[in-house]
Amino acid sequence: MINFITRYFTSLWAFITAPFRAVWRVIVRIFPPREFTVMDTPRGNVYTFNQSSFWRFTKFCAKAGLIVWASWSTYVFVYHRPMLQNRTQQLEQMREKYATHMIDLRNYLGKYNDLTKNINVIDDKLLKDKKLTDAQKEDLINERLKTWGELDFLKTRITEMFTNEDYAPEYSKISDLAIEYELTRAENIEIKKRDIEILETVAKVVEADTKIVDAVSKLAADNTAELRSELKRINGALSALGLGEAELVKNANKYSNQLVGAAFNPLEIDKELDEKYQKLANDITLWNGLNKLRRILPLGAPVKNVRVTSKYGTRQDPFTGTPKFHRGIDFAGKVGTELMAVAPGRVISAGERVGYGTTVEIDHGLGFTTLYAHLSKITVSRGDWVRPGTIVGLGGSSGRSTGPHLHYEIRYKGNPFDPEKFVKE
C-alpha cells in the first residue's frame, strides 16, 4: 500500500485529497473562470472583474437550492395544505365531540345520583312511615316505578354513548331528557288505551262476523234445500245418465254464456282460518251451482196446455201397426200452436230433417239439447240465442206424422232419454 502511494502520489495528503481534486477539476471544467468588464460611462472609467470557478459554482448551487425550495413549497401548498386543513378540522371535531360527551356524561351521572337518591328516599318512607294511607303508598309505588323507568332509560343512553361510534346527543339539557321520558310514557299510556279500544272493536267485529256467517250459512242452506227439492224429481233420470249432483254442480259453475252468466270460481279460504269460513264457501259454491243448474237444464213443458198423446218408449207404429221405439213425447195440439223454449240456449239446427219434418234443435249446455219436430213454421234461425218462453216455432204435421202434434225430445250428448220427469212441473 505504501509503495502504491509513493509511486503515484507525492504524499499521503495528496492521496487523501485526490478524489476531491478530481471533483474540483470537473467543476472547473463546467464552470471555468470568467472575466467581465464594466464601464463607468459618466467618468469614462473601465473596471475589470474576475469570477472564479468557486464563485460561479456557489452561485449555481444557490440558484438550484432556491428552485428546489420553491418547487417543494408549491407542492406542499397545492397538495398537502387541504389535507392538513381537513385533518385539523377532524381533530377539532373530535375535541368538540369529546367535550360534548363529557358534558353528557356528567349530566347523566348527576341525574343517576338524583334518581338513586330518590329511590332510597321512597323506600325509606315505605318501610318506616307507618302513617301512610293506601292511596299514599300507591302514589309512592307509582313514583318508584317511574323513577326505575327513568333509570332504565338513562342506562340505555349511557350504554349507547360508550358502544355506538356514531353516537350523537339528542338532548342538550338533562331537563330535555326528562321531558322526552314523560312524553314517551304518556304515549305508552295512550297506546295502551287504544289497544283496549281495538280489542273491544275486534270483539264486536268477531261477534258481527259470527252473526253474518251464521245468517249467510242459513240462507245458503235454505236455498240449497229448496233447489234440491225442485230438482229431486229428475234425480232418477240424471242417475240413469250417470250424472251425480257433485259433477253437475261442478260443470254448471264452470259453464258460461251470455244468458246464464259467467263461470263461478269456487272460493278458496286460507286453511289457517276457522273451518267455518271454508264450509261457508263450499255452501255458497253448491248454492250457486244448483241455482245455475236449475236455469240450464231444460225443465218444463214446451206448450201451454199440456196433454201427452204418446209417451217415450216402445209403442205400436201408427203407420205399420208393428212395435217401434218412440224416442220422445208427443203433445196434442193444433196447427199453429205456439211452441216455446223451456231453458236458455242457442239454436243449433232449424230446418227439414228426414222423418221429423220441420225441426228446431236447441243446445242448452252441459251436453243437454231439446228437439221440436213436425212443425208447420220455424220462428228462429240457426245461431239465435233463446230465453225460456221464446217462441221457436208453430205446431204442425210435417214429416212422418198422422196429424197435427208436437214431437218433443230431450237429448244428452246426442242420445235421447225419457223426458217425462223433466216435463212435469
CB 356 within 8 A of CB 319: no
Q: CB–CB of 392/372 below 8 Å?
A: yes
pLDDT the model gives residue 203:
80
Domain ranges of the chain: 31-170, 218-296, 308-423
**Cα 339 to Cα 210: distance, rounded to the nearest angstrom:** 50
Q: What is the pLDDT of residues 333-343, one digit of tens each?
A: 889 999 999 99
Taking residue 406's Cβ as centre, other Cβ atoms within 10 Å add up to 24
Within a 10 A sphere around the Cβ of 203, how many other Cβ atoms? 10
Nearest to 399 by CA among 345, 328, 346: 328
C-alpha cell at 287: 248454492
Q: Which residues contact 158 (CB under 8 A, 6 or more apart)?
A: 105, 108
The per-residue b/e assignment along 92-125, b for 16 or more CB within 10 angstroms, e otherwise, is eeeeeeeeeeeebeebbeebeeebeebeeebeee
Among 174, 162, 159, 180, which Cα is nearest to 103's? Answer: 174
pLDDT value at residue 102:
77
* Amino acid identity, position 270: D
Q: Which residues pair with 330 in a beta bridge?
A: 310, 407
**pLDDT on residue 5:** 57
Amino acid 11: pLDDT = 67
3-state SS, the chain, equals: CHHHHHHHCCCHHHHHHHHHHHHHHHHHHHCCCEEEEEEECCCCEEEEEEECHHHHHHHHHHHHHHHHHHHHHHHHHHHHHHHHHHHHHHHHHHHHHHHHHHHHHHHHHHHHHHHHHHHHHHHHHHHHCCCCCHHHHHHHHHHHHHHHHHHHHHHHHHHHHHHCCCCCCCCCCHHHHHHHHHHHHHHHHHHHHHHHHHHHHHHHHHHHHHHHHHHHHHHHHHHHHHHHHHHHHHHHHHHHCCCCHHHHHHHHHHCCECCCECCCCCCCCCCCCCHHHHHHHHHHHHHHHHHHHHHHCCCCCCCCCCCEEECCEEEECCCCCCEEEECCEEEECCCCCEEECCCCEEEEEEEEECCCEEEEEEEEECCEEEEEEEEEEECCCCCCEECCCCEEEEEECCCCCCCCEEEEEEEECCEEECCHHHHCC
Low-confidence ranges of the chain (pLDDT < 70): 1-12, 40-41, 43-44, 162, 164-187, 425
Q: At residue 417, what are phi and psi to the nearest 5 degrees?
A: -140, 170
* Phi-psi sector, 339: left (phi>0), alpha (psi -120 to 50), beta: beta
CA distance 77 to 75: 5
> For the whole model, what pTM was predicted?
0.53
414's torsion region: left (phi>0), alpha (psi -120 to 50) or beta? left
Superfamily of domain 308-423: Glucose Permease (Domain IIA) (2.70.70.10)
